[in-house]
Amino acid sequence: MVAEHAVWVYGEARDGRLTPSTRELISRAATLGSATVVLLGVRAEEAAENAGRHGTTAALVDPNPAYDQHLTTPAVEALCYLIRERRPHVLMFGASYHGRDVASRLAARLDCGIIANATEIERSGEDYRVTAPWGERTIATCELTFPGVRLVLFRSKAFSAEEKPSRCEVEEFQAPLSAEAKAVRIVETAEEESGGPSLSDAGVVVSGGRGLGDAESFRKVEELAQLLGGAVGASRGAVDAGWRPAADLVGQSGTTVKPSVYIACGISGAVQHMTGMKNAKVIVAINRDPDAPIFRSADLGIIGDVNKILPQLIEEVRRRKEW
Amino acid sequence: MRIVVCVKQVPDPSAVIYDIDKDTKRLVREGVPLALDPGDEVSLEQALRLSEATPDSTITVVSMGPEKATEAIRRALAMGAHEGVLVSDSQIAGSDALSTAKVLAAAISRGPYDIVYCASESSDGYTGMVPGMLAELLGLPLLSFVRHVEVQDGRITANRVIERGYQVIESSLPAVVSIWTGSDRARLPGLKGVMSAKRKPLEVLNLEELGLDPATVGESGARERVLELTDVEQRAAGIIVPDDGTGAARIADLLQKTGAV
């Protein structure tokens, strides 16, 4: 019988609710050992209330407002403090912008290893095996060889959030925070909502890239997305060009999507983009270049002028919807 | 303003499919076209703008890699950086993110600086771990996923990308700034830049000269071990056809079949 391990999740919440990524991670953590979620900030306690729905047995909360007012380092110090006091076996992070910052800084502070971009974790005796895509055509199975806590940063949607109600003990703690922890002050937080369903949860995503040529042509992408009740996505090229806000970026630097249909319009398919959408059930691509990498992953690829095909497609969809 | 920009030479992402050599368990970098990472070009662009707006600024480009990586540094110099430092040592090969950050931190710490730029992630490894690690090792604040910065009176204010919008953040200098990969378009080096780059100082250092113990970096310093590599399950080959006027109808057929219409 292998001893039960303490598997921790660094939880993130928005408006007092656990983020989808956190719910995915705690669901998986609960299958590996006794799952504990760490939640920081003024609304941490509120967020902890729902942690038990996904099999978490303990929540550690510190309601210090410093976590909401300063970037990254307060969370790093709190985790450092907890790890030294309680020695968890595994600490899981979601690959949000904040999660990446905290995980990387913590790994350097503890001088320990970290596996980023992970998609799976499994117990192997007293240790763990973690899988992560590496390169464009391979998946690496890794182990962390450093003693102490294993830090793993997971891509979003690596797991699904399972309903598994359990009793969750909420324990409040107060991490001692240094003055240096407050070095970066958050002055303002603003939303750039693009309307329609959320990109990360939409069943249909229509994305546009540099191949569209200009902002005006991107309107057609928005029109098709609206017609299909889907969300609008963008490649880095389209965001660079200022045609869409950064919040619409699909890919490694942006949102990971897993819709049933993904339509890529004028997107060549650089690896950063592909990591964010290649798990869509059906991928459709329109691109002028027959050698565009996007076609290697497409179920249906049309080689041609996106600005000619897109209006035809909109007409075609509209006609069929009217039947 | 003394500005440092961290850069990396990578297999050209616009021309190469990133493959892993199953024997060495490393990314294939031999026999493929190499380039200055496009993400680094963007962070250099941001550094150049800051330097142009601030009198008496210098930009030092710092990199780690094989000798050949001097080509990537030369490109950065041609774009307008003033000097380059490459840490090159056979014992660095196989470095993980933390080892990479240790080497860069050691190289950066050799001289005074006010601000350190890097890309939020590289195009080849894309772990996105180096900026946070570098800031921690240098004991500096990190302003991450930044689209643009303003520097005034020893303080820096930045616009930072978040999932649903942006944040405005600020700190004192010195600081590390990671530039969000999609934040800008990099300039192309002109002929004059290319010519002058050849005369700009470029120093190549090994670990000993840097005062780093080889046991703490490279393969021997790695905290993770790759046990095995497996091929990604390939999607079944799709139907890829030139548009003969029926392309839109074909897509609509598929959308209907999947229930999207």
Does A17 score more than 70 pLDDT?
yes
Query: What's the mean pLDDT in A78-107?
Result: 96
> Which amino acid is residue A271, in one-letter code?
V
For the cut 70, the answer to whether the pLDDT of residue A101 exceeds it is yes
Give the tens place of pLDDT for each residue, A293-316.
899 999 999 999 999 999 999 999
**Percent of chain A with pLDDT strictly greater than 90:** 77
Strands A300-303 and A282-287: parallel
Tell me whether residues A301 and B97 touch, CB distance under 8 A: no
Find the DSSP H helices in chain A: 20-32, 44-48, 66-69, 73-86, 97-110, 215-227, 236-240, 271-277, 294-297, 306-322
The stretch B145-157 carries a mean pLDDT of 95
- Residue B168 is nearest to which of A187, A255, A271, comparing CB atoms? A187
Cis peptide before A63 (omega within 30 of 0): no
Mean pLDDT over each residue of chain A, to the nearest integer:
93
pLDDT digits (tens, 9 = 90+) for A134-179: 888 889 999 887 778 999 999 988 999 999 999 999 999 999 999 9
Q: Do A317 and B170 touch (CB under 8 A)?
A: no
Q: Which tokens hold the place of A74?
A: 């307060």
Q: What is the pTM of this model?
A: 0.92
Q: What is the average pLDDT across B59-68? A: 97
Q: Given an 8 Å threshold on Cβ–Cβ distance, is A143 in contact with B249?
A: no
CB A121 within 8 A of CB A28: yes
Query: Residues in chain A, how many?
Result: 323
B252–A138 CB contact, under 8 Å: no
> d(Cα B146, Cα B234) in Å, to the nearest integer?
35
Q: Which two tokens stand for residue A31?
A: 């299958």
Residue B219 pLDDT: 84
The pLDDT of residue B140: 97
- Asked whether the predicted pLDDT for residue A268 surpasses 80, the reply is yes
Among B24, B5, B46, B14, CA closest to B123: B14
Q: Angle between the B97-108 and B130-138 helix axes, to the nearest 10 degrees?
A: 40
Contacts of A7 (CB under 8 A, 6+ apart): A29, A32, A33, A34, A35, A36, A88, A89, A90, A92
Searching chain B, which residue's CA lies closest to the CA of residue A323? B261
For chain A, domain boundaries: 7-182, 204-321
Q: Cβ A320–B261 below 8 Å, yes or no?
A: yes
Which of chain A's residues have a Cβ under 8 Å away from the Cβ of B123?
Answer: 271-272
Sign, CA torsion B251/B257/B260/B261: positive
pLDDT averaged over every residue in chain B: 94
pLDDT score of A2: 56
Query: Which amino acid belongs to residue B144?
Result: S
The pLDDT confidence band at residue B50, using thresholds 50, 70 and 90, is: very high
- A-chain residue closest to B102, CA distance: A108
B170-199 tens-digit pLDDT: 999 999 999 997 777 899 999 999 999 999
How much is the average pLDDT of B211-230?
Answer: 89
Per residue in B81-100, pLDDT (tens digit) is 999 999 999 999 889 999 99
Share of chain B above pLDDT 70, in %: 100
Chain A positions in Cβ-Cβ contact with residue B227 (cut-off 8 Å) = 129, 141-143
pLDDT band at A194 (very low <50, low <70, confident <90, very high): low
Equal CATH topology for A7-182 and A204-321: yes
Using CA atoms, how far apart are residues B150 and B158, in angstroms rounded to an integer? 6
Rounded CA separation B1/A169 (Å): 51
pLDDT digits (tens, 9 = 90+) for A229-266: 999 999 988 987 889 888 899 988 788 899 999 999 99
Contact B17 A136 (CB under 8 A): yes
B109-116: average pLDDT? 97
DSSP state of A249: B
**Which stretch of A105-109, A123-127, B3-7, B173-177 has the lowest confidence by average pLDDT?**
A123-127
Which of A185-199, B169-183, B203-217 bottoms out in mean pLDDT, i.e. has the lowest? A185-199
Homologous superfamily of the A204-321 domain (CATH): TPP-binding domain (3.40.50.1220)
Averaged pLDDT, B77-82: 98
Q: State ipTM.
A: 0.94
Mean pLDDT of B206-215: 94
Candidates B224, B229, B254: best to mutate against A (most CBs of A within 10 A) is B224
The alpha helices in chain B, defined as continuous H runs, are 38-53, 70-79, 97-108, 130-138, 191-197, 207-210, 218-221, 247-258
Superfamily of domain A7-182: HUPs (3.40.50.620)
CB burial readout B41-60, b (16+ within 10 A) else e: bbbbbbbbebbeeeeebebb
The Cα B77–Cα B59 span in angstroms is 9
- Work out the percent of chain A whose per-residue pLDDT is above 70: 98
Instruction: Tell me if residue B209 falls in helix, strand or coil.
Output: helix
Instruction: Convert the pLDDT of each residue in B12-49 to its tens digit.
Output: 887 788 889 988 888 888 899 999 999 999 999 999 99
Q: How many residues does chain B have?
A: 261
Span B92-111, mean pLDDT? 95
Residue B236 pLDDT > 80, yes or no?
yes
Distance CA B64, CA B88 (A): 6
pLDDT of residue A313: 97
